[in-house]
Amino acid sequence: MRGFRGGMMGGGGFRMGRKFAAGDLQLVILALLAEQPRHGYELIKLLEERSGGFYVPSPGVIYPALTYLEETGLAEVETEGTKKLYRITESGRKQVEENSSMIEMTLGKLERIGEKMAHVRRIFDPESRHGEREEEAFPEDKSEVAAARMLLKSALKLRYPWSKDEAKRIAGILERAAAEILQQPKND
């Protein structure tokens, strides 16, 4: 599966499943290490934050990438008790410079997806709209989408209150739906 380097599916969305090719992820990690030294967990959280929660790499993806960067001399590690702090080396900085346009494009797309995810969350979170009624969010929408939104709202009300596990299941469904909606180019 192609990562970012060959462009993203639909011109602006992620493919489901793996989000980065290994080499692309390593370059993005190097760019984040160029900003400041970081722990693996910090890198996971930073990528999650920049993508608005859409891309959360697992430790099983981040730590092997960090090990590879260390073994190839692009990063070095400093042990702090049980934690490891990773720093970029001069060779790593050269890699970042040589690939800066791809890295900027990739991080830019992550941030744009993060902005879209934040917008979707605002739509589905009535508290974030500060008193705005549902009808005000999409005043002219009388389409099938409006009917589907009302069905979703009814389904959520019927399931409420939900357990922690049920809330997690429902959130996953809504996040996957939002991601799928965002994958297709907007038809104007």
Taking residues 38-46, report their average pLDDT.
94
Residue listed under structure tokens 């042990």: 79
Residue 161 sits in the same domain as residue 71: no
- Contact between residue 172 and residue 54 where contact means Cβ atoms under 8 Å apart: no
Task: Please report whether residue 26 resides in a domain.
Answer: yes
Alpha helices, H only, 72-185: 90-98, 100-124, 134-137, 144-159, 164-183
DSSP secondary structure letter of residue 38? B
Taking residues 79-105, report their average pLDDT.
93
Distance separating alpha carbons of residues 128 and 121, to the nearest angstrom: 8
The pLDDT of residue 113 is: 80
The pLDDT of residue 125 is: 66
- Final residue in a domain of this structure, among 116, 138, 169: 116
Residue 90 sits in the same domain as residue 137: no
Task: Please report whether residue 41 resides in a domain.
Answer: yes
Look up the CATH number of the domain holding residue 29.
1.10.10.10
Task: Please report whether residue 106 resides in a domain.
Answer: yes
Range of the domain at 98: 9-116
pLDDT digits (tens, 9 = 90+) for 103-135: 888 888 888 887 877 777 776 665 555 554 555
Residue 128 sits in the same domain as residue 106: no
Which pLDDT band, with edges at 50, 70 and 90, does 11 fall under?
very low
Task: Please report whether residue 188 resides in a domain.
Answer: no
The pLDDT of residue 13 is: 38
Q: What residues contact 134, with CB distance under 8 A and at least 6 apart?
A: 126, 149, 153
Residue 96 sits in the same domain as residue 156: no
Which pLDDT band, with edges at 50, 70 and 90, does 184 fall under?
low
Task: Please report whether residue 155 resides in a domain.
Answer: yes
Number of domains comprising the chain? 2
Task: Please report whether residue 142 resides in a domain.
Answer: yes
Distance separating alpha carbons of residues 166 and 158, to the nearest angstrom: 13
Q: What is the pTM of this model?
A: 0.57
Task: Please report whether residue 154 resides in a domain.
Answer: yes
- Final residue in a domain of this structure, among 63, 93, 116: 116
Residue 141 sits in the same domain as residue 111: no
31 has a pLDDT exceeding 90: yes
Residue 176 sits in the same domain as residue 94: no
Q: Could you tell me if residue 7 is left (phi over 0), alpha (psi between -120 and 50 degrees) or otherwise beta?
A: left
Which pLDDT band, with edges at 50, 70 and 90, does 155 fall under?
confident
